[in-house]
Amino acid sequence: MEELSADECSRLLATQEIGRLAVNAEHHPLVFPVNYAVDGTTIVIRTAPGTKLAAADHANVTFEVDEIDRRTRSGWSVLVRGVAEEVGPGHRADLVARTEATGVQPWAPGEHGRWLRLIPTSVTGRRIVPGELPPAVDPRAYL
Amino acid sequence: MEELSADECSRLLATQEIGRLAVNAEHHPLVFPVNYAVDGTTIVIRTAPGTKLAAADHANVTFEVDEIDRRTRSGWSVLVRGVAEEVGPGHRADLVARTEATGVQPWAPGEHGRWLRLIPTSVTGRRIVPGELPPAVDPRAYL
């Protein structure tokens, strides 16, 4: 397993459009798939009003993106820790415009109109190189 | 967006082998890809000693599995909430045997030897049906 550099994490984050937002709510760390885009170092997420948004706003959250190939058993995972903030009328117009210009679509129909910015405090990642893992089928099963 | 029944969530959980374990640690809801298997209603996860394991043992955790097609913009997501417990010498031999018989591989090389069982307290899921989402490219961009 290889730890990824900050630059590599940034590059990988820009290659995907679906990640998972984790927030603390209802006594659990809840995880939701979301669409996202990257604006500089900030993660822009679009979501509906509700549990996610209420729990995320001004809270410590994480955002996870990965790409894993089940066949070759290789892949990578990046975890962004940070603070989330809902973008609203209290923000500068240019920030609102820049956020909306990312064009992030809601993950689910009916999830409209609310934008979250996740300001990272740390970004870490790791990569699994093919061949490092044992084969999915354990040959000992045939002995 | 369609809410999935408990039966459908169980069926979908059995189709995958990689999910994401979320635990509270270091003031954030941390998310880690893990390999898993299903033993009855219990999720069996294999992981290394460290942050994940220490934070998960006897704690409220969640486990998320999804399958999302970026091209058709459809997919599903299942979220299991529950309590995790490390399987150890204090457990009945048959439980240890059944856990190990799932054959779950560690996600990353070097992650060996520790087994977690996640006993669900709730399982929820949702599905996005193709065509429900607007196209990935906004036609207004060309006006």
What ipTM describes this predicted complex?
0.86
Give SS3 for B60.
strand
**Token digits for B81?**
């909430």
* Chain A residues touching B21 at Cβ < 8 A: none
Q: What is the mean pLDDT of residues B93-122?
A: 87
Give the distance, in angstroms, between the CA of residue A2 and the centroid of all CA atoms in the same chain. 20
Contact state of A33 with B107 under an 8 Å Cβ cutoff: no
3-state SS record for B16-54: CCEEEEEEEECCEEEEEEEEEEEECCEEEEEECCCHHHH
What is the number of other CB atoms lying within 10 angstroms of the CB of residue B131?
A: 11
Cβ B17–A60 below 8 Å, yes or no?
Answer: no
Can you tell me the distance from the alpha carbon of B140 to that of A30, in angstroms, rounded to the nearest whole number? 35
> What CA–CA distance (Å, rounded) separates B66 from B34?
13
Distance from C-alpha of A79 to C-alpha of A122, rounded to nearest angstrom = 8
Q: Give the integer Cα–Cα distance in Å for B142 and B42.
A: 50
- Contact residues on chain B for A66, CB-CB shorter than 8 A: 20, 33
Contact between chains at B29 and A23 (C-beta distance less than 8 A): yes
Q: How many CB pairs under 8 A join A and B?
A: 111
The beta-carbon neighbor of A81 closest among B28, B68, B103 is B28
* Residue contact A20–B132, C-beta within 8 A: no
- Gap from B92 CA to chain A (nearest CA, Å): 24
Tens-digit pLDDT profile for residues B47-104: 888 888 999 999 999 999 999 887 777 899 999 999 999 998 899 999 999 999 999 9
**Cα separation, A138 vs B119, whole angstroms:** 27
In this predicted structure, what is the pLDDT of residue B133? 52
Nearest Cβ partner of A24 from B18, B29, B31?
Answer: B29
B59: closest chain A residue by CA: A28
Pairwise CB contact (< 8 Å): B1 & A109: yes
pLDDT, tens only, A62-73: 999 999 887 777
Q: Which domains are assigned to chain A? A: 2-131 (2.30.110.10)
Give the separation between CA A30 and CA B24, rounded to whole angstroms: 10
Q: Report pLDDT for B139.
A: 44
